């Protein structure tokens, strides 16, 4: 169903802001607060008219907002680890959260100490460190940057039409940051 799809919302300067429902995006466009940059192939059909289904919209007025910071949730940990066990590499399935340094040994509940793990690896590791359990992490856990790449990467497989807007912003931002460092 078209209404259940999502739409990418860009600021006036084409910076990715967030993802909203197609219904919300349609209302913003219909009220003149945004313009459609990319449309879905399936239209929204009413009794008397047919409308384009927005997939990427750009706001007409600039919205000031602070730099987003990812929240520490199960979903965000699984997204950061790409739904992959960080010990054996198993993708998807029944993943759990694992404290690299167990809580009872002083391990914190933070980005740098939490990883996605399959139930078998989590059970095998138990209350030990990865070194003690002779298990190696595929990737060292770290706090995500909160940039567009990490915030919207989960949507790129399903909404490929978004990639020019997300990848363009990320490469421009990277170029600006390296130019700033070089000077």
* pLDDT tens track for 95-128: 999 999 999 999 999 999 999 999 999 999 999 9
Span 69-84, average pLDDT: 89
CA distance 9 to 59: 7
* CATH 1.10.30.50 segments of the chain: 69-143
Task: Judge whether 40 and 55 are in contact, CB under 8 Å.
Answer: yes
Q: What angle do CA 95, 100, 103 make, to 5 degrees?
A: 100
Q: What is the pLDDT of residues 16-64, one digit of tens each?
A: 999 999 999 999 999 999 999 999 888 888 899 989 999 999 999 999 9
Buried/exposed 45-57: b ≥16 CB within 10 Å, e otherwise: eeeeeeeebbbbb
pLDDT in tens, 129-170: 999 999 999 999 999 877 766 677 778 778 888 888 887 665
Residues 86 and 139: their CA atoms lie apart, in Å, by: 7
Which CATH architecture does the domain made up of 69-143 adopt? Answer: Orthogonal Bundle (1.10)
For 44, the 3-state DSSP assignment is strand
């Amino acid at each position: 169903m078209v209404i259940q799809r999502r739409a990418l919302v860009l600021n006036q300067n084409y910076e990715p802001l967030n993802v909203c429902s197609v219904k919300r995006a349609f209302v913003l466009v219909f009220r003149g607060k945004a313009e459609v940059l990319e449309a879905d192939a399936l239209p929204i059909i009413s009794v008397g008219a047919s409308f384009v289904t927005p997939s990427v919209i750009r706001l007409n007025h600039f919205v000031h907002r602070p730099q987003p910071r990812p929240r520490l949730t199960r979903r965000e940990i699984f997204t950061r680890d790409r739904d992959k066990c960080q010990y054996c590499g198993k993708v998807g399935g029944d993943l759990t959260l694992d404290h690299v340094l167990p809580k009872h040994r002083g391990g914190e509940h933070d980005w740098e100490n939490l990883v996605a793990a399959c139930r078998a690896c989590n059970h095998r590791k138990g209350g030990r460190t990865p070194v003690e359990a002779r298990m190696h992490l595929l990737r060292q856990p770290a706090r995500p940057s909160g940039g567009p790449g990490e915030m919207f990467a989960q949507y790129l497989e399903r909404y490929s039409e978004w990639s020019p807007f997300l990848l363009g912003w990320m490469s421009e931002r990277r170029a600006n940051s390296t130019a700033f460092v070089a000077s």
